[in-house]
Structure 1
Amino acid sequence: MPGSGYAVDLYQADRPLGAGFLLTRCFVLTADHCLRYLAGDEEHVSVHLGDGTAVGGRVCRRIEEADLALIEVLEPELVPLTLPVGDLPRRGDRWRGLHRPTLGDPHLGGHVDADAVDYTCVGGGRIQAMQLVAEQALGDYSGYSGGPVERVTTAERGAALLGVLIEQYPDRQAPDRAANVLFAVPLREVMSRFPHFRTGHLLRVLEPPASVAEPVGRHEEQSATRGAAVPPPVAVPVPVNDLPGGDGALPGGDGALPGGDGAPVSVDVAVAKGEALLSALKEWSERGLIDPGQVAGLQVHIAKNVVDLALGGEAS
């Protein structure tokens, strides 16, 4: 296995597709172009973990224009708890790539040249990307895409996951070769692209019991959707202050406790949803689906929102 820790290899049958890495036990992130050989209606892949274990995976979301793809792990109980702790990149950070195409290839590493630049992907989408300089001038970095970019531990900052490697920049004098300038998508951009990691999605799954009084229309909507098969939501172990929004608010816009359709909710409903989410956070932590170190901050924020609503204020 060329990777280590939370880095994985993706396969379709015996064909290698590319690299990826575990965001949680339930989700793997990769570059969308790593899945280019999948047939249009094909969604199942094999996820090869660092210890050699192969587990089933299902492509649940592809964002071609941003070169990102999310894969649901179908057997999360087989995934060891080796999840990364994320952070924001800073210019000058030393970085390393945990994945390499084969055991005969070198590891990549270098420094972050720019932590957030507007960048147009090959797929045509405009994203906020990290611009990286690799010290290894290989001329071709094919096979490294989809792997994790990790900050190297320094005296000031600890090791942390910074983002996912997606593209190499061509040498302008020799376009058939690649320069040692690479682009990666930081975690904040990843979180903003996938609804699976937004508070609204979590709360829609964690509907309160039918005994909780709700406005007419909302109860009917719940009855129509309660039987739908919805995968269990999980939260990515990123420090609370680094979640989308930049101010530590839960992702999803304003950090408020919304209803299933984004509308404000009554105090009783907010309390029910808050209690359900607090209970779920505890359970996910015990099951290893969320970084235990992040649970306390999330619990405090949820409780504060519910208290503010009960006192007649607005959730923050």
Structure 2
Amino acid sequence: MLQNEYLIDVFLGDERLGSGLRFMRKFALTAAHRLGDSLRGSRRRNGLRLGDGTPVVVADYNLTSDLALLRLLPDDSDVPLPRVRFDTAKREEPWRTAYQLADRSKSLYGHVADADAVYRRTESLVVKALRLQVDSSPEGHSDYAGSPIERTRQSGPPVALGLLVEPRPHRDTEGIASFAGTVSEAVRLFKHHLGAAPTPGGQEGGSAAHDFGDEGAKEYPTGKNAIERHLDKAGLINIVRVDWTQ
């Protein structure tokens, strides 16, 4: 049964395909390349499940970003919010994977090399992601695919910065670079499934509340300018006064 976890593991039968980031009550993100042939069965039940047996369907995917949107189908309609907050990563900020192998000496961690890197581009789409410097050296990264990466220094609920997607060559590295897709990029790509682009405490579709993360994910986004943008978008910038204190 789903509780307030935000790190999930996705299985096909008894095979673990990868991790995922649950960012709404019944929606999660994972790395599309780990789903393989399951992508062909998008939008219908095809044997995908979580570790607790909760069925999963692929609501949509985008190969350019290597992001897949998962819809979770729990038996209980009253699903708690995931206990997680979200924030925008900064260059040089340290990170670690939420998913850890049994041998914790093989965990992935590092710092953000570029917070606004181009991951892939096509004629019609440019996808941005976090380019990551990996400071640990486990054997390969495939076991960590889809894992949320989180801020290493915070109090309270975890602060997710993104999720690990497929590594790619990059001009600023001497080989393959590691990347993390962001929730904001996923919302942009999959907004037609999520209703209007969700904001903290917002609604998904009609009247069904579908909040981000930990009680509205108060850290997504943060700052005076972000508050003003939300007020302006809602047409309230000239009605609501916000006195900001540091």
TM-score by length of 2: 0.72
CA distance in 2, matches of 1:151, 1:56: 29
Find the counterpart in structure 2 of residue 47 from structure 1: 50
Listed as ranges, the matches of 1:10-21 within 5 Å are 10-21=10-21
**Percent identical residues:** 24
Higher strand share: 2
2:59 alignment partner AA: C
Q: 1:144 to 1:202 in 2, by over 3 A?
A: same
2:178 aligned with 1:182, yes or no? yes
Find the counterpart in structure 1 of residue 244 from structure 2: none
Number of aligned residue pairs: give it.
217
What value does the CA root-mean-square deviation take over the aligned residues? Answer: 3.7
| Conserved? CA contact 2:5–2:22, under 8 Å | no
Deviations 1:201-223 (A, max 9, x none): 947524xxxxxxxxxxxxxxxxx
1:151 alignment partner AA: R
Q: 1:183 to 1:199 in 2, by over 3 A?
A: closer
How many angstroms does 1:133 deviate by? 0.8
2:218 aligned with 1:239, yes or no? yes
- Name stretches of at least 5 consecutive residues in structure 1 with no aligned partner: 207-231, 258-303, 309-316
Find the counterpart in structure 2 of residue 149 from structure 1: 149
Deviations 1:238-258 (A, max 9, x none): 336618xx733459xx7247x
CA distance in 1, matches of 2:159, 2:220: 14
Give the 3-state SS of the residue equivalent to 2:40 in structure 1: coil
TM-score by length of 1: 0.57
How many angstroms does 1:46 deviate by? 0.2
CA distance in 2, matches of 1:78, 1:8: 18
2:206 aligned with 1:205, yes or no? yes
Find the counterpart in structure 2 of residue 65 from structure 1: 64
Higher helix share: 1
Deviations 1:165-204 (A, max 9, x none): 10224599xx9xx75x311112322222221161599475
| Conserved? CA contact 2:30–2:69, under 8 Å | yes
Find the counterpart in structure 2 of residue 163 from structure 1: 162
Listed as ranges, the matches of 1:1-316 within 5 Å are 5-38=5-38, 40-41=40-41, 43-44=44-45, 45-48=48-51, 53-75=52-74, 77=77, 81-100=81-100, 102-104=101-103, 106-120=106-120, 126-138=126-138, 140-153=140-153, 159-169=158-168, 179=176, 181-195=177-191, 196=194, 198=197, 202=203, 205-206=206-207, 232=208, 234-237=210-213, 238-239=217-218, 242=221, 247-248=226-227, 249-250=229-230, 255-256=233-234, 304=236
Instruction: Find the structure with the greater CA-based Rg.
Output: 1
| Conserved? CA contact 1:128–1:189, under 8 Å | yes
- Name stretches of at least 5 consecutive residues in structure 2 with no aligned partner: 240-246
1:59 alignment partner AA: V
How many angstroms does 1:79 deviate by? 5.5
Deviations 1:78-101 (A, max 9, x none): 85654210011011211000114x
CA distance in 2, matches of 1:97, 1:19: 10
Q: 1:135 to 1:202 in 2, by over 3 A?
A: same
Give the 3-state SS of the residue equivalent to 1:30 in structure 2: strand
